[in-house]
Amino acid sequence: MTQTVNRPAPPPEFDPYSATYLRDPAAVFQRAREETPVFWYEPLGTWIVTRRADVDAVLMDWETWSCQANGGRLPVPEKYADVVPPELIAEIMISMDPPKHTAARKVAQRGFLKPVIEALAPEIEARAHRIIDGFAHLGAAELMETYCLELTTQTLMALLGLPAEDESLMRQLRDDHFRVLASGREPMREPEHSEVWERYTTAQLRLRQLAQERREGTGKDIITLMATAKDREGDPALSVERIAMHLTEFAAAGTDTTAQAMANAILFLSSEQDQLADAQADSALWPRVFEETVRRRPSAPFASRVATTDTQIAGVTIREGEMVWLALVSANTDPAGVTDPLRFDIHREDPGEHYAFTKGRHTCLGAPLGRTQGAIGLRVAYERLAGLHAVPDQPQDFLPLAMLPIRRSLQVAWDGPTTTPTDESRES
């Protein structure tokens, strides 16, 4: 006799591909937190966890909730399995548990330490000015590709020490990696499937070549730091295959998520003129603008885990091997953790108290870079483009992935004369 499993249904308004959800994911979870804080979403075959306390508990318990859900179930086409075997893609940084994750993170984090990123700040600002120099005279632009992604991509290229000829490869790789990660729950159709995997494997081979070339290097770029790291026996700490895969993660998370946050900040500030005026009057508030943006709308609205044993969340039984998606956007806007949660407010007492960079062992490695780059990028944009605002009523333009909906464009205009960067910022 088949046992009937109680799977609470999602609220009718939950559709991660709908225009309503893409416009404001946080607003969709308000009823769910009260009525069905844990529900089953059949189209993706996963549980959705919405309450702050439950999200926090899962993120902090890696033994019960494994990260292998993020890479261990991805379907690798047979044609490409020799280059990207399933066991390799299963060991992306976000899908490893201790002790493997601990060792890999220890190697990679040296390139993302706060002092390293702070030393890079003047160059990030100089790049921002140079990019804006190219379009400031226009009065209007598509800002996502023109500025947000341009700035984050140029910074990543510098951090990795990559030559200019690899820039187009890295730009494409960020989208392809997100598409590959989503394919376990959101399958690709042809010809996209073959096109993505062909580019993906080509990029892996190129990054492996670079890692091998830098095995004996002395540079301070992230590729060299990872390639020259040794284990206790004096052998390379990471294979070139593993290095290439981690660099792929950096290409995606190190560019797109910060660019998404910058675009979202411009959308929020376009509706919050008083707070924009506050930030323009006090440049020390720009980091708060970035923090409040990713609290109110994190670039990645979910983090995923898989149960290693039968357990319960909010009275709902989750079976061993079942997937859960933690709604970070819901946890960030749970009234149990923040006052007036849907209000965008850069003056909050604890601006960093959110889950946009997750929490625990898998706290985002690039958080220092995202915070520094996001705040600088926003400040420079508003300094240079007087009256910068999002064009009202523009069509929503997303790559519709439930795990990470990617905004592809943001139309903006500025209605006053642009300013000229100072000589000091140009020289930096």
Cβ(95)–Cβ(67) below 8 Å: yes
DSSP for 237-286, please give it. Answer: SS-HHHHHHHHHHHHHHTTHHHHHHHHHHHHHHHH-HHHHHHHHH-GGGH
0.85 cut: is pTM over it? Answer: yes
Determine the Cα–Cα distance for residues 212 and 224; give it in Å rounded to an integer. 9
Cβ(327)–Cβ(415) below 8 Å: no
- Per-residue pLDDT of the chain (428 residues), as tens digits, is 334 467 999 999 999 999 999 999 999 999 999 999 999 999 989 999 999 999 999 999 989 998 875 555 678 899 999 999 988 887 776 666 666 666 777 777 777 777 878 888 999 999 999 999 999 999 999 999 999 999 999 999 988 999 989 999 998 998 898 888 888 777 889 999 999 999 999 999 999 999 999 999 999 898 999 999 998 899 999 899 999 988 998 888 778 899 999 999 999 999 999 999 999 999 999 999 999 999 999 999 999 999 999 999 999 999 999 999 999 999 999 999 999 999 999 999 888 889 999 898 778 878 889 999 999 999 999 999 999 999 999 999 998 778 788 899 999 999 865 666 554 445 54
Show the domains of the chain with their CATH numbers.
19-427 (1.10.630.10)
Residue 28 burial by CB count (10 A; 0-12/13-18/19+): exposed, middle or buried?
buried
Instruction: Return the residue matching tokens 């601990």.
Output: 102
